[in-house]
Amino acid sequence: MRLMLKLAGAQSSSVYYINKFANLLTYVAFRLSTQFYLTWYIVHNYTWLDHGGYFLVSMMVMNIMIMIYFYRLLRADFFSRSKSSMGQNGTHNNNSQKFLSD
């Protein structure tokens, strides 16, 4: 829904404002908190898990991925770039000029 509202150019509407906070709330509730709990459980019960090292490494990789996605969500909704640094089709001006000169 957020992407469709962005494509429609409705970033200033109240629906978009509510949706971006709903996205943040659901991300924190359903991804970050569950990932934190699973990581805590593996660290706390590491000694009696059969493959505790494998699970811990897997969870750390997933933690990194989830934090990157969280950063991207925050950057897209709350720390958006100014319109002056964007090109007509959404690309950055300095990158689009590079391909014209090559």
Tokens in use for 30?
């359903």
DSSP bridge pairs for 86: 92
Closest by Cα among 44, 43, 47 to 58: 43
Residues in the chain: 102
15 occurs within a structural domain = yes
Rounded CA-CA distance 30/78 in Å is 20
Domain that holds residue 60: 2-79
Residue found under tokens 């970033």:
11
Asked, for residue 65, whether it belongs to a domain, the answer is: yes
| Region 68-81 average pLDDT | 87
Please tell me the pTM assigned to this model: 0.68
Please indicate, yes or no, if residue 84 is contained in any of the structural domains: no
Residue 37 lies in a domain: yes
Tell me the per-residue pLDDT of 13-71, one tens digit each, with 9 for 90 and over.
888 889 989 999 999 999 999 999 999 999 999 888 888 889 899 999 999 999 999 99
Does the residue 96 lie in any domain? no
Tally of domains within the chain = 1
In a domain, 90, yes or no: no
Backbone φ and ψ of 80, nearest 5° = -70, 150
Q: Is residue 102 part of a domain?
A: no
Q: What confidence tier does 102 reach under pLDDT thresholds 50, 70, 90?
A: very low
Tell me whether residue 34 is in a domain: yes
